[in-house]
Amino acid sequence: MKAQIITIGDELLSGQTINGNAAYIGEKLTALSINVVKTSTVGDDEQAIFNEFQHALENFDLVIATGGLGPTNDDVTRTAIIKFFDTDLIESEDVLNDIKLFFEKRSRELTETNRKQALVPRIAKVIRNNRGTAPGTWIERKGKIFISLPGVPIEMIGMMESFVIPSLQEKLMTTEKKLYSLSLMTTGIPESNLFDRLGDLDALLGSSKIAFLPNQFGVKIKLSIVEKDEHTASEVLSHVEQKIRALIGRYIYGKNGELIESVAARLLIERGLKIAVAESCTGGLISSRLTNISGSSAYFERALITYSNGAKVELLHVNEDLIMKYGAVSLEVARLMAEGVRAVSGTDIGLAVTGIMGPQGGTIQKPVGLVYIGICDDKICTAKEFRFGDDRLLNKDRASQAALEMLRRHLLGIPNEE
Amino acid sequence: MKAQIITIGDELLSGQTINGNAAYIGEKLTALSINVVKTSTVGDDEQAIFNEFQHALENFDLVIATGGLGPTNDDVTRTAIIKFFDTDLIESEDVLNDIKLFFEKRSRELTETNRKQALVPRIAKVIRNNRGTAPGTWIERKGKIFISLPGVPIEMIGMMESFVIPSLQEKLMTTEKKLYSLSLMTTGIPESNLFDRLGDLDALLGSSKIAFLPNQFGVKIKLSIVEKDEHTASEVLSHVEQKIRALIGRYIYGKNGELIESVAARLLIERGLKIAVAESCTGGLISSRLTNISGSSAYFERALITYSNGAKVELLHVNEDLIMKYGAVSLEVARLMAEGVRAVSGTDIGLAVTGIMGPQGGTIQKPVGLVYIGICDDKICTAKEFRFGDDRLLNKDRASQAALEMLRRHLLGIPNEE
């Protein structure tokens, strides 16, 4: 089953509202193995909406439209629907009762404008709305399904959950092929490098497909396959996963959108270890990410954000002469900070970062983007150099990701040198 | 000038990524008074991309496409472009040099796959990318403009700012009516409350329009007006701004998307003051935000992320008996933490937060979302209670925002009680 999602509203075109509805519906349809081939947005313009309906129903089996169903004059979707399907409006008793109840509950008076919302296209099945006053509609014609929902996210979501998703589930034949997918989260290796290391993709993938989705935290490798049988699909995907792991396993920190801080947290909890963090250039970001996880007090003891040299000396007991000798941004100081924060906090592990985030403060020897990360436990104490880019906030993200990856590798005994 | 935005990527259709690119470009084009009539999303499918280009260029004057320009096999936009415009690829020396420099800076080896990114459509003007390796293209044909940009938001935004927006501005006639707008950033007051305090909107606004855009950091009040003359537009908007400031001025921390951490940083620098931060429940987020600002070492001395009670006693010298008496999450402990971090750091100001972020850890007396924030200087030492929601990450955002707002008010001498 192929689908198009149409979102309607001037505020979406002008970027005043980010299109969360399209993402929500796309996710839900994909989970039902419906192939979302296209999404589009048009403004509050009857002709544009009409044209979009036409184009969508010519090309796809399922069309879901949101928006333009409100009571005011800029809401023209309903008019476009009755023109397109060549039908007229009738008052729905159910909807009128829903609207009356809605206003009673809020002790508000029902106006003529509100009452008009009970008018629905004659040929439609009505989708009731228990979070607002605009009903949705479900129209089937020539084997195709057209659904119209309000644009207010909370109302749209309520109607998707209570009616649209269950109804689509019923419609879908269980013998149809479905889309199955699996993602591997990597970090510390660029997209092009991953691509090269995977070698001959056709041989690797068989009947499955691959996509590389990069951002500043790493590259998500998405594997997908269209199959009738779930068991077969998961066998094929896990076979490909194993082959990929054999080639680039050490760069894979998690699966299916997992965050590296969750992985690190789980490993710390499993091992019963406590960590303390010393941050300079990342300014608290690593600690904030480690404490984003519920229950973080089990493994997170404290962090010392030692921005000034004085704080590094005073709080972490880093030798001032060594800061003078090597510079605050150096392999040596990163290691001493990790050692220091571990010692003063009495934790199992110390993790430390120092670097130059930019845009100012770089030199030829020590350019913007240069970062050193140190990690120590009772046996090992090591540090590593990284070179990131020019953007301060992206550098903070990248440095925090690299630090959490060093922690993950440390906990798993994977060498941090490549 | 009528425009369509085309965003390309399977991950957008399946809702794995929310379409921020379409919103960003829509906002920028709207600000240039370009009429964004449609946006659409198609997957990583050459034929679908080709069809979308065709439909868009038949109907609109300007088409901007993002995505599908990466180095790997799932990136097919470039192929669709050369087929659609019936041209071929040539190696761009400029782009190749950019790519070489990009790799040199990161001490990474340039592979054959990377080198391919220097291939651009023969008929295109190249848009250089200084944040990544995929160049953009600008093609003019039959009086229409076609622009292709990478899908990675930071790269796309960089190229929009440095090249696309200025070039479009040049193309546009200056005599047309344009949209002018101005935003006031508020925090600590709900949308409905702002709405009520502003009273009769028609009387307040005159020929301008207003929109309230809320998120967890506060409510952005956006004023806009369509005018020929820039001077008239800015006079009307600043007159409305003054009237709004008279009604709700103390809640306004900045203008036009400004962040509260930038405002706080500017005030600290102007006053020559240094700050130290003690964080419990926010886990480093306040410090991370304060150090997101370039040049933060001028005012940010250190932060102590005292997650455990032991760390509060040991590092901040909070009296252990008082923690036992009042609880770690209390007005008293917030004040003592602020006092403590200021004293041990020798800074002008101490700022401290303690609270329960959830989802676990709440009690009837101290529910999830309860937060205390303390702030001290050499004269004043005060703390305030806040009650946020159930979501851990949103609570961290809200608590950090409230702390920075207390700091802003403290620096400006605005009372923190309402």
Report which of residues A130 and B118 the model is more confident about: B118
List the Cα angle A109/A112/A118 in 5-degree steps: 100
Chain B residue closest to A210 (CA)?
A: B74
Choose, out of B2, B7, B12, B16, the residue to mutate when testing the contact with A (most A CBs < 10 Å).
B16
Q: Domain A178-255 carries which CATH code?
A: 3.30.70.2860
pLDDT for position A74: 66
Distance between B303 CA and the closest CA of chain A, angstroms: 5
Render each residue's pLDDT in chain B as its tens digit; 418 residues.
899 999 999 989 988 888 999 999 999 999 888 999 999 999 999 999 999 999 999 999 999 999 998 877 777 999 999 999 999 999 999 999 999 988 888 888 888 888 889 999 999 999 999 888 899 999 999 889 999 999 999 999 999 999 999 999 888 765 567 778 899 999 999 887 888 899 888 899 988 988 887 788 998 898 989 888 889 999 999 999 999 999 999 999 999 989 999 999 999 999 999 999 999 999 999 999 999 999 999 999 999 999 889 999 999 999 999 999 999 999 999 999 999 999 999 999 999 999 999 888 889 899 999 999 999 999 999 999 999 988 899 899 999 999 999 999 999 999 887 6
Nearest residue of B to residue A341, measured between CA atoms: B304
Chain B residues touching residue A306 (CB < 8 angstroms) = 302
A37: chain B residues, CB-CB within 8 Å:
13, 42-43, 48
Q: Do B392 and A13 touch (CB under 8 A)?
A: no
**Cα gap A369→A386, rounded to integer Å:** 8
- Three-state DSSP class for A363? coil
| CA A375 to chain CA centroid, nearest Å | 29
**How do strand B252-255 and strand B218-227 relate by DSSP bridges?**
unpaired
76-105 of B, contacting A, C-beta below 8 A: 105
* Rounded Cα gap, residues A204 and A184, in angstroms: 15
pLDDT at A337 exceeding the cut of 90: yes
Element holding A24 (H helix, E strand): helix A20-31
Q: Would you call A37 and B48 a contact, using CB atoms and an 8 Å cutoff? A: yes
Chain A contact for B257 (CB, 8 A cutoff)? no
Q: What is the pLDDT of residue A229?
A: 86
Distance, in Å, from the CA atom of A415 to the CA atom of A412, rounded to the nearest integer, reads 9
Q: Which of B105, B294, B300 sits opposite A359 (nearest CB)?
A: B294
Span A131-179, pLDDT tens digits: 888 899 999 998 899 999 999 898 899 999 999 999 998 888 655 677 7
Question: Cβ A15–B38 below 8 Å, yes or no?
Answer: no
Q: What confidence tier does A11 reach under pLDDT thresholds 50, 70, 90?
A: confident
The interface pTM score, or ipTM, of the predicted complex is 0.76
The answer to whether B154 contacts A20, with C-beta atoms less than 8 Å apart, is no
Chain B interface mutation, best of A152, A213, A259, A268, highest count of B Cβ atoms under 10 Å: A213
The mean pLDDT value of chain A amounts to 92
Is A391's CB within 8 Å of B295's CB?
A: no
**pLDDT score recorded for residue A174:** 54
Look at residue A328 and tell me whether its pLDDT is greater than 90. yes
Q: Measure B231 CA to nearest chain A CA, in Å.
A: 23
Q: How far apart are the first and last CA of chain A?
A: 44
Give the model confidence (pLDDT) of A234-245 as tens digits.
999 999 999 999
- How open is the CA angle A18-A30-A217, to the nearest 5 degrees? 60
Give the CA-trace dihedral at A205, A206, A208, A213, to 10 degrees.
20
Contacting B residues, span 142-161, partner chain A, CB-CB under 8 Å: 152, 154
Contacts of B279 in chain A (CB under 8 A): 284
Of A12, A208, A26, A64, which is closest to residue B42 (Cα–Cα)? A26
Give the residue from chain B lying closest to A56, CA to CA: B40
CA dihedral B217, B218, B223, B224 (to 10 degrees): 40
pLDDT digits (tens, 9 = 90+) for A281-303: 999 999 999 999 999 999 999 99
Q: Which helix (H) or strand (E) holds A66?
A: strand A62-66
Domain ranges of chain B: 2-171, 178-255, 260-412
- Across the interface, whether the CB atoms of A387 and B107 are under 8 A apart is answered yes
CATH of domain B2-171: 3.40.980.10
Taking only the tens place, the pLDDT of each residue in A249-264 is 999 999 998 999 999 9
Nearest-Cα residue of chain B relative to residue A388: B106
Q: What CATH number does the domain located at B260-412 have?
A: 3.90.950.20
Q: Is B306 on the interface with A (CB under 8 A)?
A: yes
C-alpha distance from residue B193 to each of A275, A364, B407 (Å): 44, 53, 23
Give the distance from CA A65 to its chain's centroid.
Answer: 23
DSSP state of B111: P
